[in-house]
Amino acid sequence: MAMRITRRRLLEAAGTAAVAGTLPGLSGTALAQDAESHGLSTFGELALPPDFPHFAYVNPKAPKGGMLTVQIKRGGGNQSFDTFNTLNTYVLQGDGAAGMDACFDSLMASSGDEPGSLYGLLAKSVAVSPDKLTYRFRLRPEAKFHDGSRVTARDAAFSMNILKAKGHPSYRLLLNELVSSEAEGDDILVVKLSPKRGRDLHLVVAGLPVFSEKYWSTRDFTASTLEPPLGSGAYKVGRLEQGRFIEFERVPDYWAKDLPVNVGTNNFDRVRWEYFRDRQVAFEAFKAGAITFQEEFTSRIWATGYDFPALHEGKVKKEALPKTEPVGSQGWIYNIRREKFADPRIREALGLAFDFEWTRKTIMFGSFERMTSYFENSDSKASGKPSAEEIALLEPWRGKVPDEVFGEPFLPPVSDGSGSDRALLRKADEMLRAAGCKRDGNVMKLPNGQPFEIEFLDSNPALQPHTQPFQANLKRLGINATSRLVDPAQYQRRLDQFDFDIISMALSGGSIPSDTLSIVYGSEAAKTRGSRNVAGIASPAIDAMIETIGQAKTYAECVVAAKCLDRLLRAGRYWIPMWWNDEEWLAYWDMYDRPATKPKYSSGAPGIWWYDAEKAKRIGKA
């Protein structure tokens, strides 16, 4: 929830955080009263009753008002961190603006206390067929778009169908097993799923944005546009300047403001997203008060930058909060579609040249831990030898996957901290030679005789201090490693076309793994232009584990399959893992207040905070 004004989107930046499940105890497809539920949950009953007043972690009496100014730190779909040129974030075309999901409601909304639970928003209730393949959503008659027109089941059906047909590749892949979405009148939406569907799909569907069919009937859904779209959410687009900032205005007569899922949220009158290509420039904007809330990711700035008058005077607050949720994954990602990276021995050898211990000590001020797993800080992280339950899933793949999968999971080496560990570089050289590379003077040549050259592609120089010493070690191995910084639009085009050697990427994590992981690691995604499977991973064993995750009936079954997936991914050497932080670093101008309790799985900042006029007056920000 951090850095987000709404809670309801299941499709995260990297497309890996969606969760789903089954709803036991429902029978029949008719919308009889006793067959309806006020929500959906993953593995069991909903924690909250139908008449719950609000989520426990909000302040139901939070005042409305004021302004929040932030910078985009997480993205999804076609969003860029550096610029924007379209307000349609649900297609491949263009660089999407931050914050647009606040303009659209979904059928149901999630809770920060319950992973994999949804409660009614546009939909008052849902009934599920015994085979869990048909979902009948009853829409609220009071649901309205911002122009006053009613949100109907036809709008919801249109939205699902157009996302499946013309949406961003992440949506198209997710909705593969959506058989049909049809309206039975204004208030009943019938969604049918394929028997091959994963456990997740019905919750993914319930979390999709709902668009106006009438609005889009005269517009090209796939095109870039700066025309504010018609939505039904708590906010609508206000002022904007392409590539520089976009503001959202709270809708004062928002139709759903008093629903339990919205009470105590959406408290700011205006939310403004500022764009900066340079992190230091963005930080200067925060120091000056142009940005009022900051989630910090740069250790150098956290350690040394917060030494300015406003902080010493108490006008700015700085907090490090324990991180309770899974952290996802972050690393340098190989494009294994390229011949030079086809051999996992070569990929492992390159990783030996990155000296994390030196980087942590010298560049990151002793902060961060080495990332070793694709599921850090979660139950799904593999450790030790596989359990009997894991072996049962992995056994059919023996001889088809690395033997390592059946032993201890791969861990990146610990260096001597010198910055250029000779023992590790010697090992890397030996591995390269074993893979068919040859040294010709100061040049390492690939098995095909070509000089080994690697380009690190990025659109932002923030990681250059970390990357350059790594590249220096690669050059000691005879590999010509260089960086290329391009503008955000070119970067996105090259990413969409898989036109790169190595990129850096961070993917968000989810509390309950789901088969939406196929967007990032599945074989179908590997060949889908614009997908999040930038590495090009295409492994039947990995596909099978993702499918098993999606079919799991209990959390325990899901975790076992996720641990197997972790072992397979780590054995594949598809990345050079970076680092992760066990704290959430927040800084903000002291003009906000927040509830006494926080959600179990996030800090809640700033989505459930509110503007405090008295505090703002005291620091001269009223």
Per DSSP, the residues of 36-57 read: EESEEESSS--SS-TT--S-TT
Residue 339 three-state SS: helix
User: What does pLDDT average to in each consecutive run of 10 residues of the chain (622 residues)?
Assistant: 31 30 29 68 87 97 98 88 95 96 97 93 96 96 98 98 96 95 97 92 95 98 97 98 97 98 98 92 96 94 95 97 88 98 98 98 95 96 98 98 98 97 98 98 97 96 95 98 94 95 90 91 95 96 96 94 98 98 96 94 92 97 88
Per DSSP, the residues of 446-511 read: -TTS-B-EEEEEES-GGGHHHHHHHHHHHHHTT-EEEEEE--HHHHHHHHHTT--SEEEEEE---S
What does the pLDDT read at residue 599? 93
What does the pLDDT read at residue 35? 67
Q: Nearest to residue 271, comparing CAs of 67, 74, 62, 83? A: 67
Amino acid (1-letter code) at residue 320: A
Burial 420-444 (b: 16+ CB within 10 A, else e): ebeebbeebbebbeebebeeeeeeb
Tally of CA atoms within 13 A in the half-sphere of 146 that contains its CB: 22
Residue 318 CA: distances (Å) to CA of 286, 292, 299, 535, 588: 12, 12, 14, 37, 7
Query: What's this model's pTM, rounded to 2 decimal places?
Result: 0.87
Q: Nearest to residue 235, comparing CAs of 95, 67, 53? A: 67
* Strand 592-593 versus strand 293-296 pairing type: unpaired
Residue 538: both structure tokens together: 């295409």
Count CB atoms within 10 A of the CB of residue 351.
22
**Which position has the token pair 């013309």?**
166
What does the pLDDT read at residue 200? 82
What does the pLDDT read at residue 122? 98
Residue 614 three-state SS: helix
What does the pLDDT read at residue 1? 28
Q: What is the 3-state secondary structure (H, E, C) of 509-543?
A: CCCCCCHHHHHHHCHHHHCCCCCCCCCCCCCHHHH
The answer to whether residues 535 and 575 touch, using CB atoms and an 8 Å cutoff, is yes
Distance CA 210, CA 230 (A): 10
The answer to whether residues 101 and 478 touch, using CB atoms and an 8 Å cutoff, is no
Burial class, 404, CB count within 10 angstroms (exposed 0-12 / middle 13-18 / buried 19+): middle
Count CB atoms within 10 A of the CB of residue 8.
27
